[in-house]
Structure 1
Amino acid sequence: MGDWIRELIEQSSYLGVFLLMLLETVFPPIPSEIIMSLSGLQAARGTMTLWGVILAGTAGAMVGNVLWYAFARWLGYDRFKPIIDRWGRWLTLDWREVKRADAFFDKYDHWFVFLGRMMPTIRSLVSIPAGLFEMPWREFLIWSTLGTLGWTTALAVAGYELGSRYAQVDEWLGPVSTGVIIAMVAYYVIRVFTWKPRED
């Protein structure tokens, strides 16, 4: 996967970084760890600036974040409840749990969005509860941007400092991302087999 990502970055420069991070946010299996560390490597070689790479990556990710947020905001409670009623078994959610999640989000929304943006795999899903539970646009943009900026900066700087050894970034973060995905899938499977709906 790294080869075509590297080629796109080399050929399209900042636009390539922007588009790759946008795609990564919409389709999480594309690893931001490789995208941003390779971009940092290119900055170390002098073909781009480090800050240009960081800003392009952050901007691309934020466009994807906003798209997911806008979709979830449009979906809203009214459209979401029939989905829960019909597909709750496979979503492993009932309306009581949605209300509990809403109460949790009202209390910790800033931290959830900020810290969630810096967690592999999960970072791409943060926009959905933020939109569904109607986190204000301004606060969503502020905290998402700060978290996303922190994530892209860490990865780009790692690639920049490691130089040609950028693969070491993926050697460490790659298994973490894979572990998160495996844990989420395992948790979902367990939930499907043990879940029982509860009344409001």
Structure 2
Amino acid sequence: MIPLAAESTPESPGGIAGWATDLMETLGAPGAGLAVALENLFPPLPSEVILPLAGFAASRGDLSLTAAIVWTTIGSVVGALALYYIGAALGRSRTRRLIARIPLVKLEDVDRTEAWFARHGKKAVFFGRMIPIFRSMISIPAGVERMPLGTFVLFTTLGSLIWNTVFVLAGYLLGENWWRVEEYAGLFQKVVIVVVVVAAAYFLVTRLRGRPHRGRHRG
């Protein structure tokens, strides 16, 4: 088998791409699934690299397109389940105690978040699987809130299937230019980061303005 990395970019990639390539060359489609499972647990491993690379492997005939999509989706669910159980082990009471120690965060905020997740948890898990940064983390509150396991697995599978299919197909269609997918995905991630930063800044400003001012009492 000719190494996938040999023709993927002008220079043979190392790092994450090289590591994922080695896994797929050794294990085939299950190797892609293993890489994605680890990506859920270690967010610095970007699915935006692993998934198009799996698609490129399929375009070369090194593994089937269907197998690439199925195994990467299995990997997504396995990784998400690990985080779900971490959230479940952490528990609601312990989570509340930890959050209560965070400056400017009130337990009322936690109550509102819990109420929101109770109403929209299915949508949060489904769409969260398609949003950079939140793709992995959404599994933890699902575990904390003890979302029914069957429901969690169903919506995690559906969201992951859509995300994985898009990126694997992109790599499949782009062939040796699979690495360009990461450039466009990076733009999307930057937009998400900006939105998160703006939302966090808004929260801090409104919370600081709402704090009572402590002045000297004049008699």
TM-score normalised by structure 2 residue count: 0.80
Quote the sequence identity (%): 35
Deviation (angstroms), 1:5: 2.6
SS in structure 2 opposite 1:88? Answer: coil
* Larger helix fraction of residues: 1
Is the 2:96–2:110 Cα contact (8 Å) retained in structure 1?
A: no
1:82 aligns with 2:97: yes
| Large movers: runs of 4+ above 4 Å | 185-198
1:36-115 counterparts in 2 under 5 A?
A: 36-85=51-100, 87-89=101-103, 93-115=105-127
Higher deviation after alignment, 169-178 or 4-13: 4-13
1:16 aligns with 2:31: yes
Inter-partner Cα distance in structure 2 for 1:12 and 1:189: 45
TM-score normalised by structure 1 residue count: 0.87
1:140-159 CA-partner distances (Å, limit 9, x unpaired): 11001110111111111111
Deviation (angstroms), 1:80: 1.5
Name stretches of at least 5 consecutive residues in structure 1 with no aligned partner: none
- In the alignment of these two chains, the number of paired residues is 195
Residue in 2 that maps onto 1:177: 189
Cα RMSD over matched residues? 2.2
Residue in 1 that maps onto 2:6: none
RCO (CA 8 Å, sep 6+): is it higher in 1 or 2?
1
1:170-193 CA-partner distances (Å, limit 9, x unpaired): 111122224434554565577568
1:129 aligns with 2:141: yes
The one-letter code sitting in structure 1 at the alignment partner of 2:102 is G
Deviation (angstroms), 1:17: 0.7
Deviation (angstroms), 1:43: 0.4
